[in-house]
Amino acid sequence: MKAKILLQIENAQVKYLGETIFQDLNFTWEEGQQWAIIGSSGRELTAFLETLRGTTHIPEGKISRPFSNDYTNQKNEEGRINSFRDLMAYVSQQFRFRNKSNLQNFYFQQRFNSSESDEAATVRELLTENSQGKSGNWTLGNVAELLRLTSLLDESILKLSNGETRRLTLALGLLSQPEIYLMDQPMTGLDVESRAAFGDFLKTIICKGIHILITTSPYEIPDGITHIAELGEGRISRTWKKGRDHFSPIQQRENPWDLSLLQTLVSTITPFEGRVIDLKNVSIRYGKKDILHQINWQVNSGERWLVKGKNGSGKSTLISLLIGENPQAYAQDFWLFGRKRGTGESIWELKKPIGFVAPELVRFFPANQTVRKVILSGFFDTMGLFRKTTLEQESKANDWLSLFKLETIADLPLNRISLEQQRWTLLARALIKSPMLLILDEASQGLDDSQRALFKMTIEKICAFSPISLIYVSHYIADIPDSVNKTLDLGLKN
């Protein structure tokens, strides 16, 4: 007996964000198949998911979704128009939570400011809100348990770490009681242990009848997946059953940047004469929860450090202290660039010698901020450009735009460009003021394998060409540049 088709794309031309991204795309998803989609372009992977969700434009060919026929027919008979989307959950890479009045995204430092957290819903409130009006296998209780959120139910969503937030978004998807569950790079931001456990999570939900399709790295195909499709050059180039075949290794690209321009740009970075960071018995506690416990850490000028630890171990909290975003810094014995914190320095003085990149920064720039403005805002350490710039500053911005090949998109808003272009923009913003210390908090998270390799190579070159001090946070050993040769392990703190 032939397997039932759930979804089918036939000879489709697909336009995504105004560009033709697929030509002659064909894909058949049959009952019982659980798909992993791999490929070297993060943009193509996301566009493929958007096509399944019906948010791209298909001028030629067609897409059909027989999985929803019974449901939509029944709703039509009841005189209601309902879409296949009711049966489909989607976890995107860029999640945005709004504050309670639904007016704005949170601003960055709000997360570490516990007094302001009332503005945000708790994990329980958000899960409850998302389960209303839907009944099925998934309840707040079993979903919270499955995704290890039970102990976090009464926390404000604002305070969650990256990995905790990722688990929350997976839970929200389940509570919509989907038949089809699409996930864009769902293991991004998860620590080594949680990535290993991800296959068990998939197997559990597959057993309950959900069909899944994820985009992922070819090196991370979790348990539960039965079929793999490789995207490349505008179409699906191959499909195979898991275990029958293996993927072609990602081609290592040449570094596409003008390295002599990079060298010139970072040659203005000077070393700090003295100790960059000195933490003496630093402890951070929220309510009854010890996040950092008596941390002693010294970073000397020119050193390159890895900060590691599992999800929720306090890596971002530690970094919030360094970049002046955590009010608890004042109570600590803590020196930055030879000056004790809390001795009258302004937040701007504190930020000046530090360049900082974290993927979630993108969420905190106002919507009208273009790539050029975001890069220029690095001179002023503001989330967006709100003042006049000099010709010299503009010329520096042009150099960075040219280095990272961003000129053609320089005047587009940050939220209209691809994930990798956003990341190069943030790196240019961090470096434009020639900082003495560069802090990268999971800065290549979510990029595809070739872009991650390029990011690593770029940081390697910056370290080779300048005396910059570096703090690098990552859950992926393969992403760590060779020049990083010291480690602070927060997992060992207790």
Closest among 89, 62, 85 to 8, alpha carbons compared? 62
Number of residues that bind ligand ATP (CB under 6 A): 22
**The binder of ligand ATP chosen from 71, 257, 286, 380 (CB under 6 A):** 286
In terms of CB distance, is 161 or 458 closer to ligand ATP? 161
Residue-by-residue DSSP string for 163-209: HHHHHHHHHHHHHT--SEEEEESTTTT--HHHHHHHHHHHHHHHHTT
Closest among 112, 95, 96, 85 to 329, alpha carbons compared? 112
Q: What is the pairing mode between strands 88-91 and 339-340?
A: unpaired
Residues 418 to 457 in contact with ligand ATP, rule: CB under 6 A: none
Looking at 139-147, 305-313, 341-349, 409-417, which segment touches ligand ATP (CB under 6 A)? 305-313
Helix, strand and coil content of the chain, in percent to the nearest 5, comes to: 40, 25, 35
| 359 in contact with ligand ATP (CB under 6 A) | no
Q: DSSP strand E in 287-421: where?
A: 289-300, 304-308, 333-336, 339-340, 354-357
SS3 403: helix
**The binder of ligand ATP chosen from 40, 122, 188, 313 (CB under 6 A):** 313
| 291 in contact with ligand ATP (CB under 6 A) | yes
Q: How near is the Cβ of 320 to ligand ATP at its closest, in Å? A: 7
Q: How near is the Cβ of 225 to ligand ATP at its closest, in Å? A: 24
| 328 in contact with ligand ATP (CB under 6 A) | no
What phi and psi, each to the nearest 5 degrees, are found at residue 424?
Answer: -65, -35
Give dist(CA 64, CA 66) in Å, integer: 6
Closest among 489, 377, 350 to 433, alpha carbons compared? 377
In terms of CB distance, is 51 or 110 closer to ligand ATP? 110
**The binder of ligand ATP chosen from 38, 41, 45, 163 (CB under 6 A):** 163
**The binder of ligand ATP chosen from 222, 309, 435, 446 (CB under 6 A):** 309
What phi and psi, each to the nearest 5 degrees, are found at residue 121?
Answer: -70, 160
**Is residue 338 packed enough to be buried (19+ CB in 10 Å), middle (13-18) or exposed (0-12)?**
exposed
**The binder of ligand ATP chosen from 227, 304, 315, 423 (CB under 6 A):** 315
| 161 in contact with ligand ATP (CB under 6 A) | yes
**The binder of ligand ATP chosen from 186, 224, 312, 355 (CB under 6 A):** 312
Q: DSSP strand E in 219-301: where?
A: 227-232, 235-241, 275-286, 289-300
Question: Are residues 198 and 192 in contact, defined by beta-carbon separation less than 8 angstroms?
Answer: no
Q: How near is the Cβ of 162 to ligand ATP at its closest, in Å? A: 3
| 283 in contact with ligand ATP (CB under 6 A) | no
Looking at 25-33, 68-76, 227-235, 304-312, which segment touches ligand ATP (CB under 6 A)? 304-312
Q: How near is the Cβ of 314 to ligand ATP at its closest, in Å? A: 4
**Which two structure tokens, joined as six digits, stand for 46?**
């996301």
| 159 in contact with ligand ATP (CB under 6 A) | yes
In terms of CB distance, is 160 or 174 closer to ligand ATP? 160
Q: How near is the Cβ of 361 to ligand ATP at its closest, in Å? A: 14
Residue identified by tokens 């989609």 is: 37
| 164 in contact with ligand ATP (CB under 6 A) | yes
Q: How far apart are the first and last CA of the chain?
A: 58
**The binder of ligand ATP chosen from 317, 377, 421, 466 (CB under 6 A):** 317
- In sequence order, the 6+-apart residues with CB closer than 8 A to the CB of 77 are none
Residues 108 to 137 in contact with ligand ATP, rule: CB under 6 A: 111-112, 114
Which strand ranges, in their side-by-side order, compose the sheet holding 5-16? 19-30, 5-16, 57-64
In terms of CB distance, is 143 or 291 closer to ligand ATP? 291
Q: What is the DSSP letter of 349?
A: H
Looking at 156-164, 172-180, 376-384, 453-461, which segment touches ligand ATP (CB under 6 A)? 156-164
Q: How near is the Cβ of 165 to ligand ATP at its closest, in Å? A: 8
| 316 in contact with ligand ATP (CB under 6 A) | yes
Question: Are residues 195 and 149 in contact, defined by beta-carbon separation less than 8 angstroms?
Answer: no
| 374 in contact with ligand ATP (CB under 6 A) | no
Q: How near is the Cβ of 176 to ligand ATP at its closest, in Å? A: 24
| 481 in contact with ligand ATP (CB under 6 A) | no
In terms of CB distance, is 318 or 385 closer to ligand ATP? 318
Give dist(CA 387, CA 201) in Å, integer: 49
| 162 in contact with ligand ATP (CB under 6 A) | yes
**Which two structure tokens, joined as six digits, stand for 36?**
């992993």
| 160 in contact with ligand ATP (CB under 6 A) | yes
Q: How near is the Cβ of 163 to ligand ATP at its closest, in Å? A: 3
What phi and psi, each to the nearest 5 degrees, are found at residue 50?
Answer: -60, -30
- In angstroms, what CA-CA distances link 126 with 162, 171, 361? 17, 10, 22
Strand partners, 296: none
Q: Give contact residues for ligand ATP (rule: CB under 6 A).
A: 111-112, 114, 155, 159-164, 191, 286, 289, 291, 309, 311-317
